[in-house]
Amino acid sequence: MVVIGADATGMSAASQARRSRDADALEIVVFEKGRHASYSACGIPYWVSGDVAKADDLIARTPEEHRARAIDLRLRTEVVELDIPGRRVLARDLDNGAEYWTGYDQLVLATGATPIRPPLPGIDAAGVFGVQTLDDGEALIDALTASSGRDAVVVGAGYIGVEMAEALIRRGFRVTMVTRGPEPMSTLDPEMGALVREAMVGMGIRLVTGTEVTGMRADADGHVRAVTTADTEYPADIVVLGLGVRPATDLARRAGLPLGESGGLLTDLAQRVRGHDDIWAGGDCVEVLDLVSGASRHIALGTHANKHGQVIGTGIGGGYATFPGVVGTAVSKVCDLEVARTGLLEEDAERAGLQFHAVTIESTGRAGYFPGAEPMTVKMLAERRTGRLLGVQIVGREGAAKRVDIAAVALTARMTVEQMTALDLGYAPPFSPVWDPVLVAARAATRAVARG
């Protein structure tokens, strides 16, 4: 078993295969071009902010622990070519440049995703960072510590961009965020993103929306000094790119493996690459089935990646498992504002050709009379005529984000909003009003469907 990539999918697959009934007969080799394995990339912004003390806290299992389980983990080794007819891979030792071929019976592609880095003037200047790996996080922290200037610009306002902006504020930098979207977090509908904007501005972040970055201006020493747009520039001693990621599938593309519209690998339900019984793929380098729209999507999240690895390892180990798909659940926070979504946005539903009703309600996370009750906004989409739940977005304070799990289960079960109103959810004044905010939204959506 040869695995390319030693993070969530790759090491989950290797570990699960090692636990299989045929483990003694299985040789496992894992190639990783970085210096770390089995770590939480999602935790990097919290390491930068200081919430997480050190990089080791983000590592789930050390290389030595993997090797003690007879997993041959080779760090700083990049696979540069796939020979699919010959069932072998060409690996390059990044420290000495040596190259060698390794044969496989089963190949696992867990190459992840790479930060989008558009070909803008000056983007390769010193002080411009993408944040995807522990090495990226370490380089950024070193630069922040060494910087004598205190101006930082975050380009892009997705999850990573918003989390990094907060981290930089907490490190004492003056932060400007520039995004071409109308509001931060394009993973929300604009009116919900406006609530995030309010919280960010309240933290002291200067937010520039509807604006395209045209480049970076560097000084004579090649260090970034400003981020430029069509009509102005913003001073920058540090620039963090938060423009999202794309599947890291160049290796697969050169080998002729099937890719979807996003560039992610296409697999079956068992995570085999389509048309290849001996090649498997999972994590941020694949497309997944959206159970709500029925389309394939690229969604880069550690939750899916770990599940993919379990499915792959089970299959290679002689068992049977499948990954049915996703509903697109994600949560984040800005200071004490919690942000969550699952299912489809209005734009997603329109693209899928679905007709829908959208309702937005205001409620509180606790009984209104209970101390500490904070406002919460819930937006819900329901299909016209059928009333099937299509999506939920939640923005609020303590207790808001994880309420999205109610909706995630309802989406997976293909429940209608009317069925949701009868859900037997937990209630006590410290935790919820008698009618939970999600159920208040479901009642509003039920009335909209009935009127429609």
Catalytic (active-site) positions: 42
Contact between 68 and 241 under an 8 Å Cβ cutoff? The reply is no
- Cα 80 to Cα 93: distance, rounded to the nearest angstrom: 10
Closest CA to 404 of 339, 333, 340: 340
285: DSSP letter: G
> What pairs with residue 70 in β-bridges?
none
Burial of 321 (0-12, 13-18, 19+ CB in 10 A): middle
Query: Which residue is associated with the tokens 């693209």?
Result: 351
Residues 6+ apart with CB under 8 A from 255: 81, 82, 84
> What pairs with residue 380 in β-bridges?
359, 392
Residues 6+ apart with CB under 8 A from 371: none
- Cα 320 to Cα 269: distance, rounded to the nearest angstrom: 11
- Cα 39 to Cα 245: distance, rounded to the nearest angstrom: 18
> What pairs with residue 129 in β-bridges?
240
- Run of H or E including 80: strand 77-83
Give the tokens for residue 102: 């390794």
